[in-house]
Every structure is written in C-alpha cells, then in structure tokens.
Amino acid sequence: MWFALPPPNKHKGEPMVRSRGLVVLSLVAFVAFACGGSTPTTTNKGTIKIGVSLPLSGASASDGQPTLKGAEFAVNQQNAKGGIDGFQLQVVSKDYAPAGTPDPAVGKNDMLALVGDTSVLAVMGPFNSGVALQQLPVANQASLVMVSPSNTNPCLTVDLAACHFPQIGFWPSQLRPYGANNYFRVAATDVFQGGAAADYAYTTLGLRTVGVFNDETSYGIGIAEYFAEHFCKLGGTVVGGCTATAAGGVSGIKQYDPTSTASFAAMLNSLKAGGAQGLYAGGNASLKLCVARNQSNGIFPAGSAFLMGDGGVDSECIDGAAAQAKGMVGTVAAEDQSKLSADAKKMVSDFKAAMGSGPTDFGAYTVPAYAATQTIIAALDKAIKANGGNLPTRQQVRDAMSSLPPVSTPLGDVSFDKNGDTTQQIIAFYKADAKGSSSSELTCGATNANVCWEFANSKNYAGQTYP
C-alpha cells in the first residue's frame, strides 16, 4: 500500500495497527520455506535484531497488526529451528501511527531509532509508502536494508511521469542520496493495481463512464491516476474529462479533504449527474474512504460498482460502509491464501493456530510480511556465511540482499529486479459480501461482522504494460 505526503497543510493519514511482542512457539519442523538454510546449533553467538516499522494503533490496527504478526511468526519459526548460523533473531517493532493514522514524521523518527541500534541489521516495513518516503533516505545513509510487504507506490523504485506531478513530487534518485539501493518490496505496485482495476471495470463490469476521486494522500492520488489513465486508454470516460491538467494527471479526478469532509453528498451527486455508472475511490479506509460508499445510498443504485485499491480492503472499510458494504470490490497487491501451494497453506493454518485469525490477527499482508522477513533472514544467512560465520555489517547484508537468489516463500520463489521490485506482480480481487460467500475469506468487519472481503480471482500482471 502506498501513501505519501499529501499537499501542504493537508492530512496525510493511512491505515492502522497495534504492537505485539514475540510469541514463543514450540519447536516446529518446517521443511518448506526454510529461511536461509542454516542447521540447528547450540552455539549462541548473540542476537540479531530485525526492525519492524508499521502503523500499529487505532484505525490502522487492522492493517498493521496482522502484518507485524506475519514477521513475528517467521522469526519465531526460525528461532525454533535454532536461529541462524548461531545467532538468535529478535523483532523490534515501532508504531508510526500512535494517534491511529500513519504519521510519516513519526516514521522517520522510528527509523532514526532503528538506525541508532547497531544490533538492527535490517527492517521489515514500512506498511505505507508515504512513510517509506521519509524513512528511505535515513536507512540509505546507514546502508540498512528495508523490505516492505505492502508499499505499492511505484515512485519509490521507478521514475514515472506521475512521480513528477506536484501532488506526488518524488522519485527514486531523491530517496537514495548516500549510495547503492537498500530498499526492496514483495508487493506489486499501484501501476498494476490501478490498471488491473480499470481492466475489470471496463471489460468485466462493462462500465463506460466512471467517477474517480481520492483522499488527497499521494497513495490515493497515484492509484486513482493509474486507474483513470488506463480506463481512458481503454475507451472509457472519467466524469469531468480524460484530458491532462496543466500540472499533469487526468482532469476529471476529484479530491476530498479527510480532515474536514463530513458529507460526500455534493461530490457524489455531481458524479452521478455527470453520468457515472460506478465509482473508483483512491485512498485509505482510515481516512473516511468507505464512508463515501455508505453515503452513496439514495444517489447511486443499490449494488452499483464501487472499486478501490488495497487501502480499503480491510475491516475498517466494511465497518465504514455499514449497510452499503456489500458489492464493493477491492484489489490487493498479493496472492490470496487459496491460491498458495499446499505447504504455504499449512503455513497459514499454523499461523492462525499460533497467532489468531481475527481482524487484527490475519490480513491481506500477513503472508507478504512473512515472505519479506524470509528474504531478510536469507540475506542475513548469506552475509554471515560470507563473513566467515561472524556478525556481518549492514553493508554486507545489503550487498547480500542485492544479489540474493530466489527465496522459497509462501508467495512462491521471491526475487527482486535491479530496482528492488519483486519480479511478481500479482493482483488479487476481493468483493465485500456475506460471510462465507466464497471458498476463501480475507477478513470481516469488526462491527459489521457478517460482511467480509471474499476472494474473487487473481492474476500475475508481470510484463503487462500500463500507463
């Protein structure tokens, strides 16, 4: 998920999360997904810390907590096998959403604290791309590896035209001022999320005119832009126009200020009057995104299309949409658990038995967090071995990550390209529907517990060309 800094003086939130300490597990014999290939040993060379940077409180908890637990579970399993090359692993978690919404300034301070702890040799996270924007230069200066399970902003790794829009305004070279790349991710980017959703809206749903809006975060701005560009390219129309504005971007995209917007009625009525057959919402459930769905009642027909990216595919969105939740469609930049291998499904069942399966236990990015942590452990193993079995430096870990062979994970064999992006670009589609409506269920509402995100389908879009 990506969320970058909004325009000056604008609220810039993103989803939620809480902190949780390590859970001590009994010894688990896990052959599949061995992290680093080290053999059990009684040697204790010390402790290597893996930092975890996530939004862990309030409205963000349904995103961050399940992600934290995915990292913890990977570390717990590795320690149950004797650690790695004589070292024990420890998770050090930081919460950059203490007030309930992600705060990039807090995230930057968290990274400064992790950099200051010399035992931290890598970081799993962050969850939000706007926080990565602030953290990446700090970690880059320290040669500290970052592996995100959920950042989807393409501008973190690839210099695209939209990266230079004033509302976004950052690109890769700005974020690595001190040297070689130290940033990697296992999630597909919003170019693919937005593009895939546009394909779905135009081809599967048969929509020809849509209303598009965002929450003024750069996550919302970007994913709405990629959706609108591709929808227009397919021959569809965005209410307000497909032409580019002077600053760049599709002219018809609307915005709302989450700090001041209580009623979406005026915007929704305007989009309906403009001929919108459905809506695409770019942004975060924690910033009222799905309240717009609730307030569309009486303006748009019941069951009309309401599509969004992964910022809304959580329990907070289902609760915010309330009685209008059913029928919403969202994308997630990761494979659904039902499509995983048999060994991967066992990992999920073992996780749920040990860590829980509630709205703040297992979520869309639990398995990606587990996989991201596995790549860190594999890089640590490689760096330790290259250093004669001794504690490696952060630069040695970074070098190991940059040349890491494919790592066997529940997501499949994970590898990274020269930019640090995963070579997979899997997008999964979910529909909010009655609990148990499909054979695979992601998560349900907390207060709206009978409505859940039910898996629909998924596809690897690697090689697909989108705007």
Detail the DSSP E strand segments found in 26-77: 46-54
pLDDT at 294: 98
Distances (CA, A) of 38 to 29, 46, 378: 13, 15, 9
Tokens coding 81: 């096998």
CA–CA separation, 83 and 75 (whole Å): 8
| CA atoms in the 13 A half-sphere facing the CB of 283 | 32
* pLDDT tens for each residue of 120-137: 999 999 999 889 999 999
Question: How many other CB atoms sit within 10 Å of the CB of residue 69?
Answer: 24
CA-based nearest residue to 369, from 69, 41, 20: 69
Tokens coding 145: 């590896």
Average pLDDT on 219-226 reads 92
In the predicted structure, residue 292 carries a pLDDT above the cut 90? yes
CA–CA separation, 196 and 329 (whole Å): 12
Instruction: Answer whether 65's CB lies under 8 Å from 360's CB.
Output: yes
CA–CA separation, 262 and 256 (whole Å): 10
b/e map 435-458, b = 16+ CB within 10 Å = eeebeebbbbbbebeebbbbbbeb
| CA atoms in the 13 A half-sphere facing the CB of 397 | 31
pLDDT higher at 424 or 453:
453
Average pLDDT on 217-242 reads 94
In the predicted structure, residue 233 carries a pLDDT above the cut 80? yes
Tokens coding 464: 């697909």
pLDDT higher at 422 or 4:
422
Q: Alpha helices of 234-327 — where are they, by DSSP H?
A: 265-273, 291-295, 315-321
Place of tokens 């296992």: 186
DSSP H/E element including 460:
strand 451-460
pLDDT above 70 as % of the chain: 91
pLDDT at 465: 76
CA–CA separation, 43 and 343 (whole Å): 29
In the predicted structure, residue 18 carries a pLDDT above the cut 50? no
In the predicted structure, residue 399 carries a pLDDT above the cut 50? yes
DSSP-based three-state secondary structure for 36: coil
Instruction: Answer whether 289's CB lies under 8 Å from 317's CB.
Output: yes
* pLDDT tens for each residue of 337-359: 899 899 999 999 999 999 999 88
Instruction: Answer whether 47's CB lies under 8 Å from 78's CB.
Output: no
Average pLDDT on 130-146 reads 96
Distances (CA, A) of 106 to 13, 96, 110, 137, 253: 12, 5, 6, 15, 30
DSSP-based three-state secondary structure for 264: coil
95 DSSP β-pair partners: 54
Q: Using CA of residue 382, residue 388, residue 390, residue 396, what is the dihedral sign?
A: negative
pLDDT higher at 45 or 59:
45
* pLDDT tens for each residue of 235-280: 999 999 999 887 778 999 999 999 999 999 999 999 999 999 999 9
pLDDT at 212: 98
* pLDDT tens for each residue of 404-420: 999 999 999 999 999 99
CA–CA separation, 235 and 85 (whole Å): 56
CA-based nearest residue to 228, from 238, 218, 241: 238
pLDDT at 281: 98
Distances (CA, A) of 7 to 12, 134, 257: 8, 15, 10
Tokens coding 279: 């809506």
Report angle CA 84, 379, 75 to the nearest 5 degrees: 45
For 261-264, which contacts have Cβ atoms below 8 Å and span 24 or more sequence positions?
261/288, 263/295, 264/291, 264/292, 264/295, 264/296
255 DSSP β-pair partners: 214
Question: How many other CB atoms sit within 10 Å of the CB of residue 325?
Answer: 23
Instruction: Answer whether 287's CB lies under 8 Å from 16's CB.
Output: no
Tokens coding 200: 């779905």
Tokens coding 71: 């990292």
Backbone angles phi, psi at 135, to 5 degrees: -80, -35
pLDDT at 24: 32
- Burial class from Cβ neighbours inside 10 Å (0-12, 13-18, 19+) for residue 247 reads exposed
* pLDDT tens for each residue of 176-186: 999 899 999 99
> How much is the mean pLDDT over the chain?
89
Instruction: Answer whether 177's CB lies under 8 Å from 449's CB.
Output: no
pLDDT at 1: 55
